[in-house]
């Protein structure tokens, strides 16, 4: 089932890629710049550009380019969605925007606190944009800034010079969606109660019916629980009502059959929930839960070994208070 | 004040001289040498502050320590300590020190036992900021000190030793749970879990915009008594995870009341108790 569906997604992925390559090639010819490597950016819907993240762990060989990042172009302005994990990655994103449009970069939307999404933000300071995120993003970043910057230096070393934390200048409250006007294009920003983190934000583009969920949805790559397991399951129920035509996950390919991807994610999180509840009821320990819970999901996800134990640990300390 | 800064200054000068010498000798090996020297230096300082110049012996036959090789969630690293000696009133572990060398506040907790209970094992959960040695030092009632230590690798990616949801943590602050085995007889060693809802937050984070630190809010002391006799007390710090959990062994010889009293850094006190063998529902 899953494999079959995956193949469908991959086909779509490839056809999108092909279209993008052609677009990029034409662009290159048009501007007279022919680079050794084609840009990694693809247009997934009219005016919506995505740089797919590499489905790997944060490491020097992928320069931290692991998250899906991109931008949306209106008639008057551009909004960036997530900025990558370093100043350099942010600059690459900015260059890609400038290859496509000279319109002002008015908004930089940060979908949540994680460093692979937020640490490239300083590259846009020259545009003086509104940095906007969940109302709790600022506090979450302040609490983690030293750790994030230290880890970045550890993994990527001096290649990340210039990287610093940018705190959002505007916040979106849960239950109070914010609209950004880009010129004949309205983006709806929605903040969620604690799920993947305590500061998740989605972006909906009405024109194309594209819902940029970022890390509220992981496709192919194992979801990471860094907020609340129960909260996330609640948010999944809510998202299931959406009628979006396509969804951009934080990691993994853009999906049009996205409810199936959402269901995959729910199945994994449900396995954590029921497995850990059983062990908590028997006064079991985190170590037992790591060994026993959710192992049947192992072959369904990339990076399972790297993140599953961590998910069990984080969920265990949440569920033992039920 | 002057003396302290002079001392520090001298230390720094000495270190620079040492490093220059090492650089001269070993060239590119310098970086490795420096970081190792700094780690050892940290432990040396902690050791001196806790025990002065008293000798610390290898504790392999006295204490067992289980830690994960890699910290999966840097905010919640489970550790288990086992007493390898049979404890009685003549021979018991008086104090147990839990030290995480490379954390901002390395002394995570100090447990004190009156020697009346053979607790056998004790587990808790800690924050781990960086690759570090994690040590358990046991002081026996005869004055001997023993140590075991494990190396713990910090977790990769986005795992940070921070609160996941400060708002939720604040909402339930001070709730306490005692989880005991469902059925037991008097004299049995009961594996008991104490859970405290508390952010146990460090307050080390500096807000660049408001130019202020997030205020610290952590548990300073925990006392567990049975019929008003101490089972153990603990002085704790910010290296203990959010919502602290302590698993401990304890053998009640009679019916009675197990009580917990927790005090935090802001002056609040939280209490909880259960009747034994009539337990609360886990």
Is B157 at the interface with chain A, CB within 8 A? yes
Q: A37 pLDDT exceeds 70?
A: no
Q: Which pLDDT score, from 0 to 100, does residue B216 have?
A: 85
Which residues of chain B make contact with A82, given a CB cutoff of 8 A?
none
Is B177 at the interface with chain A, CB within 8 A? yes
Paired tokens of A113: 């606190």
- Any idea what the CATH number is for the domain that residue A39 is in? 3.60.15.10
Of B59-63, B110-114, B273-277, the range with the lowest mean pLDDT is: B273-277
Q: What would the pLDDT profile of A243-261 be if each residue is shown by its tens digit?
A: 999 999 999 999 999 999 9
Q: Which residues contact A80 (CB under 8 A, 6 or more apart)?
A: A69, A70, A71, A93, A97, A105, A107, A108, A109, A124, A129
More confident residue, A247 or B201: A247
The number of distinct structural domains making up chain A is: 1
Q: Which pLDDT score, from 0 to 100, does residue B220 have?
A: 97
Q: Is the peptide bond before B277 cis (omega within 30 degrees of 0)?
A: yes
More confident residue, B279 or B52: B52
Cα gap A139→A226, rounded to integer Å = 15
Is B205 at the interface with chain A, CB within 8 A? yes
Paired tokens of B73: 């969630």
A184-195: average pLDDT = 98
CB-nearest partner of B205 from A143, A310, A320: A143
Is A282 at the interface with chain B, CB within 8 A? no
Which residues of chain A make contact with B206, given a CB cutoff of 8 A?
142
Q: Which residues constitute the domain of residue A104?
A: 2-319
Contact B157 A57 (CB under 8 A): yes
Contact B205 A309 (CB under 8 A): no
Which residues of chain B make contact with A313, given a CB cutoff of 8 A?
72-73, 76, 78
Q: What would the pLDDT profile of A193-215 be if each residue is shown by its tens digit?
A: 999 999 999 999 999 999 999 99
> Contact at 8 Å (CB) between B154 and B132?
yes
Helix (H, G, I), strand (E, B) or coil at A320: coil
Q: With a CB-CB cutoff of 8 Å, which residues 116-175 of chain A face chain B?
A: 116, 136, 138-140, 142-148, 150, 155, 165, 167
Fold of B60-276: Immunoglobulin-like (2.60.40)
A168 CA: distance to closest CA in chain B (Å): 11
Q: Which pLDDT score, from 0 to 100, does residue B210 have?
A: 62
Span between the terminal Cα atoms of chain A, in Å = 34
Cα gap A120→A118, rounded to integer Å = 6
Q: What would the pLDDT profile of B1-28 be if each residue is shown by its tens digit?
A: 333 334 344 444 444 434 433 333 333 3
Which residues of chain B make contact with A191, given a CB cutoff of 8 A?
none
Contact B78 A286 (CB under 8 A): yes
- Among A226, A227, A303, A319, pick the best mutation site for testing chain B contact (most B Cβ within 10 A): A226
Q: A7 pLDDT exceeds 90?
A: no
Q: A28 pLDDT exceeds 50?
A: no
């Amino acid at each position: 089932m899953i494999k079959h569906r995956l193949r469908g997604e991959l086909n779509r992925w490839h056809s999108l890629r092909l279209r993008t390559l052609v677009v990029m090639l034409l662009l290159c010819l048009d501007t007279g710049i022919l680079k050794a490597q084609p840009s990694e950016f693809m247009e997934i819907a009219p005016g919506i550009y995505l740089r797919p993240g590499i489905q790997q762990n944060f490491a020097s060989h992928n320069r931290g380019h692991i998250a899906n990042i991109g931008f949306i172009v209106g008639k008057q302005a551009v909004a960036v969605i997530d900025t990558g994990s370093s100043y350099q990655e942010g600059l690459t994103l900015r260059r890609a925007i400038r290859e496509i449009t000279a319109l002002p970069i008015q908004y930089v939307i940060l979908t949540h606190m994680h460093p692979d999404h937020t640490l490239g933000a300083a590259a846009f300071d020259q545009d003086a944009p509104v940095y906007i995120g969940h109302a709790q993003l600022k506090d979450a970043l302040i609490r983690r800034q030293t750790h994030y910057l230290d880890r970045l230096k550890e993994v990527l070393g001096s290649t990340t010079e210039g990287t610093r934390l940018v705190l959002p200048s505007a916040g979106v409250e849960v239950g109070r969606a914010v609209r950004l006007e880009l010129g004949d294009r309205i983006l709806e920003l929605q903040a969620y109660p604690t799920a993947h983190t305590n500061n998740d934000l989605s972006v909906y583009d009405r024109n194309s019916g594209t819902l940029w969920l970022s890390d509220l949805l992981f496709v192919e790559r194992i979801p990471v629980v860094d907020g609340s397991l129960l909260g996330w399951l609640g948010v999944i129920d809510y998202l299931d009502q959406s009628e979006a035509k396509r969804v951009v996950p934080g990691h993994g390919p853009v999906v049009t059959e996205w409810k199936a991807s959402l269901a995959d994610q729910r199945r994994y999180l449900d396995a954590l929930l029921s497995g850990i509840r059983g062990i908590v009821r028997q006064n079991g320990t985190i170590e037992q839960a790591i060994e026993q819970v959710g192992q049947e999901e192992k072959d369904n996800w990339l990076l399972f070994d790297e993140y599953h134990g961590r998910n069990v640990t984080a969920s265990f300390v949440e569920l033992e208070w039920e | 004040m002057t003396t302290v800064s002079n001392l520090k200054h001298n230390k720094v000068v000495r270190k620079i001289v040492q490093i220059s010498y090492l650089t001269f000798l070993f060239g590119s090996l310098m970086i490795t040498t420096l970081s190792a020297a700094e780690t050892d230096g940290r432990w040396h300082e902690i050791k001196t502050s806790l025990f002065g110049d008293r000798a610390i012996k290898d504790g392999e036959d006295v204490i067992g320590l289980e830690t994960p090789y890699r910290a999966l969630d840097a905010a919640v690293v489970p550790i288990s300590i086992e007493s390898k000696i049979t404890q009685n009133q003549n021979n018991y572990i008086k104090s147990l020190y839990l030290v995480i060398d490379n954390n901002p506040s390395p002394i995570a907790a100090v447990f004190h036992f009156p020697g009346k209970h053979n607790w056998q094992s004790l587990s808790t959960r800690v924050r781990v900021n960086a690759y570090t040695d994690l040590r358990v030092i046991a002081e026996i009632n005869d004055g001997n000190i023993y140590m075991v230590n494990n190396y713990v690798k910090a977790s990769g990616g986005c795992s940070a030793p921070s609160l996941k949801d400060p708002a939720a943590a604040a909402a339930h602050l001070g709730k306490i749970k005692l989880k005991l085995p469902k059925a037991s007889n008097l004299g049995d060693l009961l594996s008991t879990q104490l859970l405290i809802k508390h952010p146990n937050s460090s307050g080390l984070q500096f807000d660049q915009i408001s130019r202020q630190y997030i205020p610290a809010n952590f548990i300073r002391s925990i006392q567990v008594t049975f019929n008003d006799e101490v089972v153990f007390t603990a002085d704790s710090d910010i290296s203990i995870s959010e919502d602290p959990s302590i698993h401990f062994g304890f053998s009640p010889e009679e019916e009675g009341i197990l009580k917990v009293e927790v005090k935090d850094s802001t002056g609040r006190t939280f209490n909880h108790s259960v009747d034994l063998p009539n337990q609360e529902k886990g």
